[in-house]
Structure 1
Amino acid sequence: MRLGICQMQVTEDKEKNVGTAVEMIVEAAERGARLIVLPEMFTCPYDVNLFSEYAEDENGYSIRTMRSIARELGIHLVAGSIPEETPEGIYNTSFVMDDGGNIIGKHRKVHLFDINVPGEISFRESDSLIAGDSVTVIETPQCVMGVGICYDMRFPELSRMMALGGAEVLIFPGAFNMTTGPAHWRLLVRSRALDNQCYCVAASPARNPSASYVAYGHSMIADPWGSVVCEADASPSVITADIDLEAVERIRRKLPLLRNRRPDVYGWRSGV
């Protein structure tokens, strides 16, 4: 299976962003990618003060367009994420489409990005977003995928639940910044792949130094052994790589981490 990542430049113009996504999806498909991934908040700037302005539901312009291009090209698409408008509030949501343009799943970001690194960055998604509460595993003809969003990647419990649910590929649309990105992005992608003996795919926006929130870029794929398969730089780019799903089973058989787990001793006991 060939997988593609569209590391696109995100602007303040939603229609332009959607158009850029379509162009890059077409390029990835022309290179043979059958599963294509977009970055977090690909329709709008990553700014808590703007999410409500750009929010739309699954019947809105952005997701309708993504469904159409998936159907036209006959590809599966993880449409990064958008601010999803619902009666209860706005979620950071990733929609997944099959090759017929049908929505076959969605992940609502479970862990909201509320951090404060003095002198570096402060950000509070919870000021404008509400958190999802589900582990997302989706079966497709190509693979079984687990989907998380950005900050979700920092919590190994979520990735482990996806792996235990059958995921062979973990997919994280994300937007790490210039503080956390250089320090942790590559390490986390490799770690989640290594921990769960599966492929880990992380799709970032391209770096825009003039944006209010500057994404790190460096979209990448790591394999079940924890090695980097491919990695972009910071600029707009489409990267593709062939995924060997037999390697997942082969490595899990040779080094049976999941089978050798001891959940009977993992519960917290005070005084121990």
Structure 2
Amino acid sequence: MFDIKIGICQMLVTEDKYGNIERASSMVREAASMGADLVVLPEMFTCPYDTMRFARYAEDENGPSVGAMGVLAEELGVYIVAGSIPEKTPRGVYNTSFIIDDAGNISGRHRKVHLFDIDVPGEITFRESESLLAGDGATVIDTPHGRVGVGICYDIRFPELSRMMVLEGAEILIFPGAFNMTTGPAHWELLIRSRALDNQCYCVGVSQASNPDACYVAYGHSMVADPWGGVVLEADEGEGVFTLDLEMELIDKTRRELPILRNRRPEIYRGDSAERENES
């Protein structure tokens, strides 16, 4: 099984869309110069995380954000999980991660399945559903280095989606995100480690850098957890580029020694089990 070097771009996002594209490009170049095979950007890397701005910043797959990442991926010979952007479609706007292959082509896209609608009194209220549509499927992409599953931020809270991706062969789960200063300290590490541990794979969370002057303050702390559930990389709150070699053999080793996936009993977990029990 091949090893892979992953590049993480914890980027400070501003209100300047084209400045954000330029900054993202610079960080991807830096990660590639450090040997990264696959580079990940954060959620909404070209747009402030603000429901009132998503429509204004939205673009389709032929727009400047995806276009710049495609040119860069081909030039550098790397895969790019292009965080996410507001994707414009005839139906409306999605929160979408475009996955670009090393020839500069779109090899997949993930539209955020679970929209971030929360209300923590006195802390934070946010409703993505006011301006975004929800995606309707899991996303798993083949790369020369293994199969990669992609979700976006709030998607990580729903273990069923991660399990679907792993059952489809994903060996690395990647979540571009922007957890906030309420949910981040409480749950970010816990969720990344849990999804890695649940599925005995690598789990990668890539956040925006924290900007205390922004309308929405991201937590930062981009992180990688290994198949044993241990944290093998953690950033602080500031902007930075990080790389890490993922030892893919550790996935098979962990699954041999602690065969959780093999010991599953899906016939017990079926949603109609309670109905069958009542009928008996």
TM-score of the aligned structures, taking structure 2 as reference length: 0.96
Distance of 2:103 and 2:225 partners within structure 1: 28
Measured after TM superposition, the shift of residue 102 of structure 1 is: 0.6
- The residue that corresponds to 1:120 in the other structure is 123
1:4 pairs with 2:14 = no
In structure 1, distance between residues paired with 2:267 and 2:26: 50
Aligned with residue 179 of structure 1, among 172, 182, 185: 182
**Residue identity opposite 2:274 in structure 1:** R
Contact 1:76 1:99 in 2 (8 A): yes
Report SS of the residue matched to 2:70.
helix
Alignment partner of 2:274: what SS?
coil
Mapped to 2, the partners of 1:70 and 1:202 lie a distance apart of 21
Q: Which residue does 1:263 correspond to in 2?
A: 266
Number of the residue aligned with 2:204 = 201
Q: Distance in 1 between matches of 2:228 and 2:154?
A: 23
1:15 match = 18
4+ long deviations beyond 3 Å: none
Q: Distance in 2 between matches of 1:129 and 1:208?
A: 23
2:80 pairs with 77, 80, 93, which one? Answer: 77
- Give the whole-Å Cα distance in 2 for the aligned partners of 1:96 and 1:16: 21
**Structure-2 separation of matches of 1:155 and 1:218:** 20
Aligned mate of 1:168, from 168, 171, 175:
171
Query: Which position in structure 1 is the counterpart of 2:68?
Result: 65
TM-aligned CA deviation for residue 142 of structure 1: 1.1
Contiguous gaps of at least 5 residues in structure 2: none
Where does residue 45 of structure 1 map in the other structure? 48
Q: Secondary structure at the match of 1:269?
A: helix
Q: 2:208 is matched by which residue type in structure 1?
A: P
1:213-224 alignment to 2 at 5 Å?
213-224=216-227
- Which residue does 1:35 correspond to in 2? 38
- Counterpart code for 1:217: G
In 2: Cα distance, 1:169 partner to 1:246 partner: 12
Q: Does 1:252 align with 2:267?
A: no
Alpha-carbon offset, residue 115 of structure 1 = 0.4
1:109 deviation in Å? 0.2
Deviations 1:195-253 (A, max 9, x none): 00000000000000000000000001100000111111000001110001111111111
Extract unaligned runs of 5+ from structure 1.
none
Q: For residue 211 of structure 1, what is the aligned residue in structure 2? A: 214
Q: How far apart in 1 are the matches of 2:6 and 2:146?
A: 11
> Residues of 2 paired with 1:160 and 1:191: CA distance?
12
Deviation per CA, 1:106-150: give whole Å up to 9, x if none: 000000000000000000000000000011011110110000000
Aligned length: 272
Question: Is 1:96 aligned to residue 99 of structure 2?
Answer: yes
Percent same amino acid among aligned pairs? 67
The CA distance in 2 between the partners of 1:216 and 1:29, in whole Å, is 25
The letter for the 2-side match of 1:240 is T
Deviation at 1:263, TM superposition (A): 1.0
Amino acid at match of 2:180: N
Q: Structure 1: how far apart are the matches of 2:242 and 2:222?
A: 8
CA contact (8 A) 1:41 1:81 kept: yes
